Amino acid sequence: ESTLGAAAAQSGRYFGTAIASGKLNDPVYTTIANREFNSVTAENEMKIDATEPQRGRFDFTAADRVYNWAVQNGKEVRGHTLAWHSQQPGWMQNLSGGALRQAMIDHINGVMAHYKGKIVQWDVVNEAFEDGDSGARRNSNLQRTGNDWIEVAFRTARAADPAAKLCYNDYNIENWNWAKTQAVYAMVRDFKQRGVPIDCVGFQSHFNSGSPYNGNFRTTLRSFAALGVDVAITELDIQGASPTTYANVVNDCLAVERCVGITVWGVRDTDSWRSEQTPLLFDGGGNKKPAYTSVLNALNGG
Ligand code: G3I
For 188-197, how does the pLDDT look when each residue is reduced to its tens digit (9 = 90+)? 999 999 999 9
How far apart CA 86 and CA 174 sit, in angstroms, is 21
Mean pLDDT of 88-95: 98
Catalytic residues: 235
Q: Is 288 a residue whose pLDDT tops 90?
A: yes
* C-alpha distances out from residue 192 to 149, 175, 200, 225, 237, Å: 16, 22, 11, 12, 30
Query: Does any ligand 1 atom lie closer than 6 A to the CB of residue 87?
Result: yes
Phi, psi at 38, each rounded to 5°: -120, 15
Mutate to test the pocket of ligand 1, among 173, 273, 277 (most ligand atoms within 8 A of CB): 273
pTM score over 0.80: yes
Average pLDDT over residues 211-225: 98
Ligand 1 proximity of 134 Cβ (cutoff 6 Å): no
Helix (H, G, I), strand (E, B) or coil at 31: helix
Residue 108's pLDDT band (cuts 50, 70, 90): very high
At residue 124 the predicted structure's pLDDT band, cuts being 50, 70 and 90, is very high
What confidence score (pLDDT) does residue 182 get?
98
SS3 193: helix
Mean pLDDT score of the chain:
98
pLDDT, average across residues 79-106: 98
Q: What pLDDT is attached to residue 283?
A: 98
pLDDT tens string 150-188: 999 999 999 999 999 999 999 999 999 999 999 999 999
Average pLDDT over residues 263-276: 99
Q: What is the pLDDT of residue 302?
A: 87
Q: Is the CB of 53 under 6 A from ligand 1?
A: no
Query: What whole-number distance in Å separates Cα of residue 143 and Cα of residue 105?
Result: 14
Nearest to 214 by CA among 181, 253, 161, 176: 176
- Please give the Cα distance from 258 to 70 (Å, whole number): 24
Rounded CA-CA distance 227/127 in Å is 20
pLDDT in tens, 20-76: 999 999 999 999 999 999 999 999 999 999 999 999 999 999 999 999 999 999 999
Ligand 1 center to 148 CA (angstroms): 28
ω into residue 81 within 30 of 0, thus cis? yes
Percent of the chain residues topping a pLDDT of 70: 100
Residues 6 or more apart whose CB falls under 8 angstroms from that of 27 comprise: none
